[in-house]
Amino acid sequence: MHPPLVELHLHIEGTLEPELIFDLAARNKVTLPYADLADLKSRYAFTDLQSFLNLYYANMAVLLTEQDFTDLTRAYLRRASAAGVRHAEIFVDPQAHTVRGVPLAACINGVAAALRTSESDFGLSSALIVTFLRDRPAAEAFDMLTELVAMNAPIVGIGLDSAEVGHPPVDFIEVFDLAHAHGLKCVAHAGEEGPPEYVWQAVQLLEVSRVDHGIRSLEDPLLVDYLVQHNIPLTVCPLSNVRLRVVDTLADHPLPAMLERGLTVTINSDDPAYFGGYIDDNFTAITDAFALSADQLATLATNAIHAAFITDARRAELL
C-alpha cells in the first residue's frame, strides 16, 4: 500500500455532480436548461478547456446560498474520505459566484464551514485556496483579495485558473505580490493549454510554490531542469487532460516522462464530476495505463505529502 492520499488540485465547483445540480435547482427554484438528468449528462463530451468551462460556469447557477456551498463541500469530503484522502487543499472560484450576485461571504463561509469540521466529520484535514479567474480583469482579483484579507478569510493561499491561452501570468503580478505580502501561499494553473513560457512566468514572476498541471513544461528542457532544481511540484490531473483533449489518450500522457525527468509530480482529480473520476479513479487509470510499480505509486503519493501546505507535524503524521 502506498502512503495516504493527498489532493492538491481540486476545484470544489468541479465536484458538483449532475444529481446534486438537479437537487439544488429544485431547492432554489432555479430552472435548468436541461430536459432531464440524461440530457445534462449528454453534454459532458468536451473538445477543449473552454468547452468544459462553459458548462462548468453554467451549472454554478444552482449555487446560491451559504448552505449550498456547505452541502457541495461536504459531498466532496465524503467522497474523498471514501477514496482514502487524508488531506485536501481545495480551490474555490469566488468571482464565478459574485458576478452572479452571490455574496462573497456566502461562498467563502459556506465552503469554510464544511472544511472546519472535515477532520471530525470525515477524517481528513483540509485547507482552502482562492483561485482567481485569469480571463477576468486583474484589478477585480486584486480588489477581491483585498476584501478577503479584510474579512480575515480562512484561506491558506491563492491560485489562478480559467481560460489560459491569451491570459498570461504576467498580468497578475500585483495580485500575487499582495498575496505574498500577506504570507499567503501561491499556486497557478500554467502549461495546461498554454505554452512553457506561462510556466516560466508563474514560477519566476508570480513566485508560485506549485504549478497546477504544467504538463507542457516538457516542451522546454531548460524549464524542466529549473523545476527539478528548485523542486517545484506539478499537480497533474491525468483524467482531466484526457477529457479536455490536452492529450489524445491516457497512453499518450507524459506522466512517465515527467517521472523519468525527476519532476515532483502529484496526481489529482481537478474537476472529478466532469472528468470521469475522483483521485482514486485517477490512480487506478494511470496504474493500468502505465503498469506503474508500487515504488512509483508510493513516490507519487509521497510527493503530494511533501508538496502540501501543512505543518511539519501534520506531514510527519501522513508520511
Which residues are annotated binding-site positions?
9, 11, 189, 270-271
Q: Which helix (H) or strand (E) covers residue 307, if one does?
A: helix 294-307
How near is the Cβ of 15 to ligand HPA at its closest, in Å? 11
Q: Exactly one of 7, 89, 164, 192 is catalytic; which is it?
A: 192
Identity at 246, one-letter amino acid code: V
Strand (E) or helix (H) holding 187: strand 185-190
Give yes or no for residue 270 binding Zn ion (CB under 5 A). yes
Give CA–CA dist 278/239, Å, rounded: 9
Side-by-side strand order, sheet with 234-236 = 5-7, 85-92, 125-133, 157-161, 185-190, 210-213, 234-236, 265-267
- What is the spatial distance between Cα 93 and Cα 11, in angstroms, rounded to a whole number? 8
> Total residues contacting Zn ion (rule CB under 5 A)?
1
Site string (260-299) toward ligand HPA, x via CB under 6 A: ----------xx----------------------------
x/- site string to ligand HPA, residues 71 to 110, per CB under 6 A?
Answer: ----------------------------------------
Q: What string marks each residue from 150 to 179 as x (binds Zn ion by CB under 5 A) or -?
A: ------------------------------
Region of 19-27, 40-48, 53-61, 264-272 interacting with Zn ion (CB under 5 A): 264-272
| Contact status: 243 vs ligand HPA (CB under 6 A) | no
Helices 66-83 and 279-290 cross at an angle (nearest 10°) of 40
Give the nearest distance from C-beta 60 to ligand HPA in angstroms: 11
Contact status: 68 vs ligand HPA (CB under 6 A): no
| Cβ 207 vs Cβ 185: under 8 Å | no
What, of Zn ion, ligand HPA, none, does residue 14 touch, CB below 5 to 8 Å by kind? Answer: ligand HPA
Output the nine-digit C-alpha cell for 69: 456551498
DSSP 9-61: -BBGGGG--HHHHHHHHHHHTPPPSSSSHHHHHTT---SSHHHHHHHHHHHGG
Answer yes or no whether residue 13 interacts with Zn ion by CB under 5 A. Answer: no
- Binding range to Zn ion, per CB under 5 A, among 114-122, 263-271, 278-286, 291-299: 263-271
Angle, vertex CA 86, rays to CA 111 and CA 184, nearest 5: 55
What residue type is assigned to position 1 of the chain? M
Residue selected from 3, 14, 272, 277 as contacting ligand HPA according to rule CB under 6 A: 14
The reply to whether 161 sits near ligand HPA by the rule CB under 6 A is yes
Residue closer to ligand HPA (CB basis): 3 or 46: 46
Least distance in Å: CB of 263 to ligand HPA?
Answer: 19
160, three cell numbers: 489562478
> For residue 53, what is its C-alpha cell?
468551462
Is residue 319 packed enough to be buried (19+ CB in 10 Å), middle (13-18) or exposed (0-12)? exposed
Is-catalytic flag, 192? yes
Q: Which of 240, 266, 268, 282 binds ligand HPA (CB under 6 A)?
A: 240
How far is residue 61 CA from its own chain's centroid? Answer: 20
Applying CB under 5 A, the span of 34-42, 59-67, 108-116, 270-278 interacting with Zn ion comes to 270-278
Positions marked active-site: 192
Contacting positions for ligand HPA (CB under 6 A)? 11, 14, 49, 56, 161-162, 189, 192, 240, 270-271
Contacting positions for Zn ion (CB under 5 A)? 270
